[in-house]
Structure 1
Amino acid sequence: MAEFNRKSDTVPKPPESRENPTVGIAPSPSENIGQKRLADFDLDGKVFIVTGGARGLGLSLAEALAETGGKVYCFDREPKADEGWNEAARRADKFGGSLHYKQQDVQDTEGLDRTIAEIADKHQRLDGVIAAAGVQHLSPAQEWTRDEVNRMMDINYTGVMMTATSAARQMFKYKIHGSMCFIASMSGTIANKGLLSPVYNSSKAAVIQLARNLAMEWSPIRKDGTGGIRVNCISPGHILTPMVLKNFEEVPGLRETWEKENMMGRLAETTEFKGAALFLLSNASSFMTGNNLVIDGGHTAW
């Protein structure tokens, strides 16, 4: 008996990019020149979802989209957003965009699918997703249990996969040629000095590979006008987030170790990734898909 089932007996094949070229999503060279400053970054009227958007990096990235006119829905498992989120929502309104909070755990696949569909149906579109929800746990490899491994992979990898596929269904439904950005990590390509996190690092490596494969499958535009969805990753270096600050409490001297391991001698602030997110979710990156943007202060460059 087969362990997995397909909805069709036909063996699926990815669309042939040469036969389904992604044309028409790049702005015309004459479209924006001289008409509006930085028009390729303008997200006015577009709709986005950011998972892990209640605080930290996710909130900073959501704010970047809202500051340029986007309607941004922040998903998180907390019952309500904290004070920092409310202040960000106030600022977003000032810039012409908007932030909306939805309590939604990425592990609740049915709820996730339902919430994403409701947002897309309300606006008759869904233009992009940033999948930033994730957890970390420090422990020697031999101490991990099967349940602990499964839980971390369920949030860090499966949660990204389910968010992306649910969003893609809505983009296909409304024939939106959108963009997705997965928050991976430089930890997906290296082992971090001074930090025992084998499952977290493996989950981020899986996310990077997921982006490549979904980009191959969704980037071409099919004959019916669906597709044209670009998929990329951002791989940050060490950032000053609540999760990392907890690591510093658990591992004395870790901050000093990490600061000396990159070329800039410091750790990143969450706001330093806003420009990259805006780039990947806007027309400014219209020829970029299946890639991984490493922003790590030079950590992996030496």
Structure 2
Amino acid sequence: MTTHSETLLAGKSGIVTGAGQGIGRAIAQVLAREGAAILVADVNRDAGEETCELINNAGGRAQFQPCDVSDEPAVEAMVAAAVDAFGGLNIACNSAALSHGSGPIHEYQREVFDQTLEMCLTNTWLCMKHEIPAMLAGGGGAIVNISSNASLRGQAYNTAYAAAKGGVNILTKSSAAEYGSQNIRINAVSPGVIRTPGVEKYFEEQPAIAERLKKSAVMGRLGEPSEIAEAVAFLCSERASFITGQILSVDGGGAVR
């Protein structure tokens, strides 16, 4: 029989990328609340340090590491910093992503498409490439990648992002098949429309579809970053000990509409 401590992640140490704002910040806060020591990674130092301050002031334990997750040496240094600071790596959430453009697919510039793939898919692979050896060295762990419901059935005028996140889904499933026997569980959370600065900016860029997206959930509201974070905490915990290779939609029912 499995027993649980009062907090889901007591004694664990982890990394959250893109933790300077929005969903990433909420994930770092919830993982810390559940007892994990968190390396907050973000390209924006001020934002990342603010996340650390919020966590530490709330009684958690966090340390900031500047990191551009599209730069492999920086990713390698990020993982090394977590191991040095906390003695190992048990959990990781690869949340950092950036989409540079939207519009009809025939109007996309090659540079914009390539940048979106790099900042949403390639960066996730780079993080996993270096997180997994650290977890293997400690006997296992859990990784949660952040996908998007845009990956499940496509999203008009957001094609590069949807394609990149579709790649994240298959990356998640394939790597879960590789490492399940070595005690590393790998899952993804697929958010619906969540109230973040990035989503608000997208609404400004695409006002014609903003109202439709706001009403896309059968629950009739936007999701909150904390609701994504709670799902990530569960998947990182031993309560999800027999779950791997899954894409969990946290979307208020948007995927079934």
Secondary structure at the counterpart of residue 139 of structure 1: coil
TM-score of the superposed pair, with normalisation by structure 2: 0.93
Aligned to 1:240: 195
Aligned to 1:289: 244
Answering whether residue 65 of structure 2 is matched by residue 102 of structure 1, we say yes
Once the 2 structures are TM-superposed, how far is the Cα of residue 91 of structure 1 from its aligned partner? 4.3
Aligned to 2:218: 263
The question of whether the paired residues in 1 share the 8 Å contact of 2:16 and 2:95 is answered with yes
C-alpha change, 1:79 and 1:48, in structure 2 (3 Å) is same
Aligned to 2:165: 204
Aligned to 1:43: 9
Aligned counterparts of 2:132 and 2:6: Cα–Cα separation in 1: 23
Q: Which amino acid aligns with 1:75?
A: A
1:185 to 119, 133, 148: 148
Secondary structure at the counterpart of residue 153 of structure 2: coil
The question of whether the paired residues in 1 share the 8 Å contact of 2:193 and 2:251 is answered with yes
Query: Which structure has the larger Rg over C-alpha atoms?
Result: 1
Answering whether residue 45 of structure 2 is matched by residue 79 of structure 1, we say yes
Aligned to 1:147: 111
Give 5+ residue unaligned stretches, structure 1. 1-28, 33-37, 221-226
Q: Which amino acid aligns with 1:279?
A: F
Answering whether residue 54 of structure 2 is matched by residue 88 of structure 1, we say yes
Aligned pairs for 1:153-168 within 5 A: 153-168=117-132
- Give the root-mean-square deviation of aligned CA atoms: 1.8
The question of whether the paired residues in 2 share the 8 Å contact of 1:55 and 1:84 is answered with no
Once the 2 structures are TM-superposed, how far is the Cα of residue 173 of structure 1 from its aligned partner? 2.4
Aligned pairs for 1:10-49 within 5 A: 29=1, 32=3, 38-39=4-5, 41-49=7-15
Answering whether residue 199 of structure 2 is matched by residue 217 of structure 1, we say no
The question of whether the paired residues in 1 share the 8 Å contact of 2:52 and 2:64 is answered with no
C-alpha change, 1:133 and 1:122, in structure 2 (3 Å) is same
Aligned to 2:102: 138
C-alpha change, 1:278 and 1:247, in structure 2 (3 Å) is same
Aligned to 1:7: none
Aligned counterparts of 2:48 and 2:154: Cα–Cα separation in 1: 33
Give 5+ residue unaligned stretches, structure 2. none
Aligned counterparts of 1:230 and 1:244: Cα–Cα separation in 2: 29
Q: Which amino acid aligns with 1:109?
A: E
TM-score of the superposed pair, with normalisation by structure 1: 0.80
The question of whether the paired residues in 2 share the 8 Å contact of 1:40 and 1:282 is answered with no
Mean Cα displacement is larger for which, 281-290 or 123-132? Answer: 123-132
Once the 2 structures are TM-superposed, how far is the Cα of residue 264 of structure 1 from its aligned partner? 1.1
- CA-to-aligned-CA distance 1:204-262 (integer Å, 9 cap, x gap): 10000000010011110xxxxxx210000000100111111011111224332123322
Once the 2 structures are TM-superposed, how far is the Cα of residue 85 of structure 1 from its aligned partner? 2.1
Answering whether residue 11 of structure 2 is matched by residue 54 of structure 1, we say no
1:171 to 122, 135, 138: 135
Give 4+ residue runs of structure 1 displaced > 3 Å after superposition: none
Aligned counterparts of 1:41 and 1:229: Cα–Cα separation in 2: 21
The question of whether the paired residues in 2 share the 8 Å contact of 1:41 and 1:282 is answered with no
Aligned counterparts of 1:80 and 1:284: Cα–Cα separation in 2: 34
The question of whether the paired residues in 1 share the 8 Å contact of 2:20 and 2:40 is answered with yes
Aligned counterparts of 1:265 and 1:253: Cα–Cα separation in 2: 18
The question of whether the paired residues in 1 share the 8 Å contact of 2:93 and 2:144 is answered with yes
Once the 2 structures are TM-superposed, how far is the Cα of residue 82 of structure 1 from its aligned partner? 6.2
Aligned counterparts of 2:28 and 2:75: Cα–Cα separation in 1: 18
Aligned counterparts of 1:301 and 1:91: Cα–Cα separation in 2: 40
C-alpha change, 1:173 and 1:86, in structure 2 (3 Å) is closer
